[in-house]
Amino acid sequence: MAFEVPKLTDRQQEVISHWQSFNVPGQWLIGQPDKDGVVEAIMKGENIEWSLTIEPFGESAESSREPGGTWVDGITV
């Protein structure tokens, strides 16, 4: 089955690379950009989940939670 790879701006890729550099084990899921170019990225780890909402120019909002818990603004690594 084929799937479309998200088209990220260079700035969006920089934000994702920054968070991946913390080497927290988990699976990254990156959605397609919406009509405004905003991308949602989720990292699902064993004890933590991250949610990144990334604008085309790299501005982002981050949230984290324990799996199944309540989302909290900001991420602590």
Report, as an integer, the average pLDDT of 46-56.
93
Compute how many other C-beta atoms are within 10 angstroms of the C-beta atom of residue 50.
21
Q: Which residue has the tokens 């994702």?
A: 16
Summary mean pLDDT of the chain = 88
Closest Cα partner for 75 from 37, 45, 31? Answer: 45
User: What does each C-alpha distance from 38 to 22, 44, 51, 72 come to in angstroms?
Assistant: 23, 20, 13, 20
Average pLDDT rounded to a whole number, residues 21-39:
92
> Per DSSP, which regions of 1-77 are E strands?
26-30, 39-45, 49-54, 60-65, 72-73
In this prediction the pTM is 0.82
Q: How confident is the model at residue 23 (pLDDT cuts 50, 70, 90)?
A: confident
